[in-house]
């Protein structure tokens, strides 16, 4: 099992999968039965998620709600 290559206050074990460091956005899949994806964003990077999918975020992350047109 690989050691994490970035550190956040939300470290969970075990690391199920970790993206290669050369990927554009580093991420880790954490947990056993209830897995989560932990994504490390750089300044000005964005993540788009479906409603109800965000479990947590650090204090420096801002949310922008966008309602899809029907």
Question: Consecutive sets of 10 residues in the chain, 70 residues long: mean pLDDT of each?
Answer: 52 64 74 82 83 80 78
The pLDDT of residue 15: 62
In sequence order, the 6+-apart residues with CB closer than 8 A to the CB of 61 are: 41
Distance CA 42, CA 52 (A): 23
Whole-prediction pTM value? Answer: 0.55
Specify the number of domains making up the chain. Answer: 1
The pLDDT of residue 1: 44
The pLDDT of residue 28: 83
The pLDDT of residue 44: 84
Distance CA 30, CA 36 (A): 5
Task: Give, rounded to a whole angstrom, the gap between the first and last alpha carbons of the chain.
Answer: 44
In sequence order, the 6+-apart residues with CB closer than 8 A to the CB of 32 are: 14, 16
- What is the span of the domain harbouring residue 3? 1-70
The pLDDT of residue 26: 81
């Amino acid at each position: 099992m690989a050691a994490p290559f970035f550190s956040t206050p939300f470290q969970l074990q075990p690391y199920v999968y970790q993206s290669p460091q050369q990927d554009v956005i580093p991420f880790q899949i954490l947990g056993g039965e209830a897995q989560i994806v932990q994504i490390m964003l750089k300044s000005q990077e964005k993540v788009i998620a479906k409603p109800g999918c965000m479990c947590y975020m650090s204090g420096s992350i801002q949310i922008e709600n966008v309602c899809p047109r029907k």
